[in-house]
Chain A
Amino acid sequence: MNQRTEERLTAYLFVAPYLLLFAAFLAVPVVYGFYISLHDWHVLGRARPFVGFANYSALLRDDLFHTALLNTAYFALLTVLPGNAASLLLALGLNARVKGETLFKTLYYLPVVLSVAVTAIIWRWLYSTEFGIINHYLSALGGPRPAWLNSPALAMPSLAVMSIWWGAGGNMLIYLAGLRGIPDEYYEAARMDGAGTWARFRHVTLPLLRPALLFCLVMSLIGSSQVFGQSYILTGGGPHYSTLTVVLYMYQTGFSLYRMGYACAVAYVLFALVLGLTVVQYRLVAGRREDFAA
Chain B
Amino acid sequence: MSPFFAPLAAALILAAGGCSRRTTDEAGVLRFWNGFTGPDGATMERIVKRFEHDSGLRVKMQIIPWATYYDKLTLSLAYGGAPDVFICHANRLAEFARYGVMRPIDDLIVSDRTFPADDLMPNIRDAARYGGVQCGLPLDCHPQGLYYNTRLFREAGITDARGEATPPRTLSEFLQAARRLTRDKDGDGRPDQWGFAFTWLRTNWITFISQFGGSVLTPDLVRSRINCAENAEATRLMADLITRYRIAPRPEGFDSWMGFRQGRVAMALEGIYMLSSLEEQKGLAYAGAPAPLFGRRQAVWGGSHVLCMPRTIGAARARRAWRFMRYLSDNSLDWAAGGQMPVRKSLLRAARFRTMRVQREFARQLPYVVFEPASHKSTEIMPFYDAAIESSLLGLQTPQAALDEAHRRISQVMARR
Contacts and interface: CB of A to CB of B under 8 A. Distances in A.
A and B touch in the complex (CB under 8 A): yes
Nearest to B387: A240
Nearest to A62: B412
B304 to A, nearest CB: 21
Interface of A: 40, 42-46, 51, 54, 58, 61-64, 240-241, 255, 257-258
Interface residues of B, number: 18
A40 to B, nearest CB: 7
Main secondary structure of the interface of A (DSSP, over half): loop
Interface string B184-201: 000000000000000000
A51 B412 CA distance: 18
A18 to B, nearest CB: 12
A44 B99 CA distance: 6
A43 B79 CA distance: 9
6 contacts: A40-B417, A44-B99, A46-B99, A51-B417, A255-B71, A258-B74
A152 to B, nearest CB: 9
Q: Which 5 A-B pairs have the closest CB atoms?
A: A44-B99, A43-B78, A45-B99, A44-B78, A44-B101
A254 to B, nearest CB: 12
B99 A42 contact: yes
Main secondary structure of the interface of B (DSSP, over half): helix
Contacts of B416: 58
Contact of A43 (B74, B100, B387, B408): B74
Contacts of A43: 74-75, 78
Nearest to B417: A40
Nearest to B77: A44
A62 B410 CA distance: 11
Contacts of A64: 409
B262 interface: no
B78 A63 contact: no
B379 interface: yes
B299 to A, nearest CB: 29
Interface in B73-90: 74-75, 77-78
Interface string B86-129: 00000000001001110000000000000000000000000000
A63 B408 CA distance: 9
A27 B245 CA distance: 63
Between B77, B78, B100, B391, the greatest number of chain A beta carbons within 10 A of the residue's beta carbon is seen for B78
B255 interface: no
Contacts of B99: 42, 44-46
B380 interface: yes
A47 B379 CA distance: 22
B381 to A, nearest CB: 11
A255 B100 CA distance: 20
Contacts of A62: 412
B412 A240 contact: no
